[in-house]
Amino acid sequence: MILIAGPCQHESIEHSQKMFDTIKEIVSGDFYYKCSFDKANRSSIKGKRGVGLKQFVEDFEFLKNENPDMKLLTDVHECYQVEYLADIIDVFQIPAFLCRQTDLIVEACSTWKPVNIKKGQFLSYKEVKGILTKPDPDAEIWITERGTTFGYNNLVVDMRGLSYMRQVLQKDYPNMKVIFDATHSVQEPGAGDGVSGGKRQFVQPLCRAAAAVGVDGFFMEVHDNPTVAPSDGPNMLTPNMYKETLRQIDKIQECFIT
């Protein structure tokens, strides 16, 4: 099972080291540490965007040297960022709003590292096939479901999409994996007067449902104190909540092992 976990933003060397150690202890195995250097699609110009590309690279050159087992995932917004990050990134992520940006997808795939493409909130699961026509057929692509726009300031997860992508699309694109992003799926975009809200209490039931339907992995943002996080605080999990969520996922997946 592919596990992606970490805070929304890289806040400091000390914080990322602390969160990496915390999640590593919970997972007791391989996982991809996720954090962003720039949140380029904030609801407001006043939103904190991140430490920036240069500082991010400097910090993680140090952190990966200190932690040889660290696997790092971050999102890119422009093509030039791919080459700049290529030496330290293990998985490139394409943000949901950019999931149809052909040049960005092709550039990320040219590194021959896995590329995690967030399915846009504006797309149906059947439209994902169009995205999969863009990379090289041998590229490893992960498609991450993170909810679909439902009216104003709300997202819903259509569990049929997870099943469709695994049962239909994987037949034509065997290098594709299906990931469920539980924490962004409970986000309430722009609901808080220009600041996105969220309801983390629904993360666990959605994960249980996704585990029962069947996915290749789970994406969850985790923070030691979500109330003070610079972004996505209302939908991020505390470490204890993350640990309990993984326990529930494991129990459900055991039911389907024959």
What's the structural domain count of the chain?
A: 1
What pTM was estimated for this model as a whole?
0.95
> Residue 173: which CATH number?
3.20.20.70
What is the distance between the terminal CA atoms of the chain, rounded to a whole angstrom? 17
pLDDT in tens, the chain (258 residues): 999 999 999 999 999 999 999 999 999 889 999 999 998 877 777 777 889 999 999 999 999 999 999 999 999 999 999 999 999 999 999 999 999 999 999 999 999 999 999 999 999 999 999 999 999 999 999 999 999 999 998 999 999 999 999 999 999 999 999 999 999 999 998 766 666 788 999 999 999 999 999 999 999 999 999 999 999 889 999 999 999 999 999 999 988 764
Q: Return the structure tokens found at 82.
A: 């791919």
Domain residue limits at 226: 2-254
Write phi, then psi, for 113 (nearest 5 degrees). Answer: -105, 155
Q: Which residues pair with 188 in a beta bridge?
A: 197
Q: Is 71 exposed, middle or buried (0-12, 13-18, 19+ CB in 10 A)?
A: middle
CB atoms within 10 A of CB 238: 16
Q: Taking a C-beta distance cutoff of 8 angstroms, is the pair 155, 161 a contact?
A: no
DSSP for 65-90, please give it. Answer: HH-TT-EEEEE--SHHHHHHHTTT-S
